[in-house]
Amino acid sequence: AQSVAQPEDQVNVAEGNPLTVKCTYSVSGNPYLFWYVQYPNRGLQFLLKYITGDNLVKGSYGFEAEFNKSQTSFHLKKPSALVSDSALYFCAVRDSITSGTYKYIFGTGTRLKVLA
Amino acid sequence: EPEVTQTPSHQVTQMGQEVILRCVPISNHLYFYWYRQILGQKVEFLVSFYNNEISEKSEIFDDQFSVERPDGSNFTLKIRSTKLEDSAMYFCASSGAENERTEAFFGQGTRLTVV
C-alpha cells in the first residue's frame, strides 16, 4: 500500500535562509512523487514532480526537491526563503499504473512559516 | 492555463439534506478524483473515476456518496443525506491527458458546511 509521511507539522525559517520540508514515502513499485502548496482558503497548487530521471527536480517559485531512493525520501528545498512562501505544503505519492491504483496519496502537510 | 473549476465555492446545508458538488475537469484529462480536507488538515482521498466508472474508492466513500459524469464535461459528487461530519472542503481533481505520469490539477474547492 502507498503511504507518505511528513514528520514535521510546522517548519519555521528566517527569510533569506534555506528551507527544507521533509517527506518520506512507501510504494510497491516505482514512485511518482509530487509536492503541492496550499495558501489560506485556496486549492492545492502543483509545485513539482519526480517521475524518472535526475534525482534533483526543479519546480515553481524557486523550489526544488531531491529524490533519494535508498532513503525513500523526497524533501522539498529552497535556497533562500521568502515570507510569501509561508503556506501549507503537501507531499503526495502515486504508485505506478502496474499496481492497479490511480489515486494520489497525500501526507498530513507541513506548515511553513517564514519569518521576516 | 487550463484549470479545474468547482461550484459552488461555499454550500451550507441542513443535516439530512442532499447536496451535489459540481466540477468541470480539464477537458482532455482522463482521470477524475474527489478529495476532502477537514479544517485545513489532511487531504483525504474519496474516489477516483476513469472510463466512466469508479476505479477506486476509500472507506469514507460509503453508500451516501455517489459520483457521476453525466455529459462528458461535468463531474459531480452527491451526498444523499448529509451528516455534521461531512463538513469539509471538497476538492475535485483531474489528471492524465497523455499518460498516467502527469500531476493532478485541483480545483479551488467547495466548502461544505452541514448545520
- Which chain A residues are Cβ-neighbours of B48 within 8 angstroms? 102-103
Burial A21-32 (b: 16+ CB within 10 A, else e): bbbbbebeeebb
Please indicate whether residue B14 or residue B2 has the higher confidence score (pLDDT). Answer: B14
- pLDDT attached to residue A98: 57
d(CA A23, CA A66): 10
- pLDDT attached to residue B98: 54
C-alpha cell at B6: 468547482
Would the CB atoms of A101 and B56 count as touching at under 8 Å? yes
Identify the residue among B103, B105, B113 best suited for mutation to test binding to A, counting A beta carbons within 10 A and taking the highest. Answer: B103
Mean pLDDT of chain A: 92
Per-residue pLDDT at B16 exceeds 80: yes
Q: Which residue of B has its CA nearest to A88?
A: B40
